[in-house]
Chains A and B, each alone.
Chain A
Amino acid sequence: GIQVEQSPPDLILQEGANSTLRCNFSDSVNNLQWFHQNPWGQLINLFYIPSGTKQNGRLSATTVATERYSLLYISSSQTTDSGVYFCAVVNTGGFKTIFGAGTRLFVKA
Chain B
Amino acid sequence: GAGVSQSPRYKVAKRGQDVALRCDPISGHVSLFWYQQALGQGPEFLTYFQNEAQLDKSGLPSDRFFAERPEGSVSTLKIQRTQQEDSAVYLCASSVGQGNSPLHFGNGTRLTVT
Q: Does A66 sit within 8 A of B, measured CB to CB?
A: no
- The reply to whether B110 and A41 form a contact with Cβ atoms under 8 Å apart is yes
CB B98 to nearest CB in A, in angstroms, measures 5
CB A10 to nearest CB in B, in angstroms, measures 11
- The reply to whether A45 and B102 form a contact with Cβ atoms under 8 Å apart is yes
- The reply to whether A97 and B42 form a contact with Cβ atoms under 8 Å apart is no
Q: Render A62-106 as a binary contact track against B, CB cut-off 8 A, 1 for contact.
A: 000000000000000000000000101010011111111110000
- Interface size for chain A: under 10, 10 to 19, 20 to 34, or 35 or more residues? 20 to 34
Q: Does B65 sit within 8 A of A, measured CB to CB?
A: no
Q: How many residues of B contact A (CB 8 A)?
A: 26
Given the complex of chains A and B, what is the CA–CA distance between A88 and B102 in angstroms?
10
- The reply to whether B55 and A95 form a contact with Cβ atoms under 8 Å apart is yes
Q: Which of B50-96 contact A (CB under 8 A)?
A: 50, 55-56, 89, 91, 93
Given A95-B48, A98-B45, A100-B42, the answer on whether A42 and B101 have CB atoms closer than 8 Å is: no
Residues of A within 8 A of B91 (CB): 43
Count how many pairs of residues, one from A and one from B, have CB atoms less than 8 Å apart in the complex. Answer: 59
Given A41-B110, A97-B33, A97-B45, the answer on whether A33 and B55 have CB atoms closer than 8 Å is: no
- Which 10 pairs of residues, A with B, have the shortest CB-CB distance? A95-B99, A99-B42, A48-B102, A43-B105, A90-B99, A99-B43, A101-B42, A95-B98, A102-B42, A30-B100
Q: Which residues of A contact B (CB under 8 A)?
A: 30-31, 33, 35, 41-43, 45, 48, 50, 86, 88, 90, 93-102
A-B contact pairs, 23 of them (CB 8 A): A31-B100, A33-B103, A42-B105, A42-B108, A43-B105, A43-B108, A45-B104, A48-B102, A50-B100, A86-B42, A86-B43, A90-B100, A94-B99, A95-B48, A95-B50, A95-B56, A96-B56, A97-B33, A97-B45, A97-B93, A98-B45, A99-B35, A101-B42
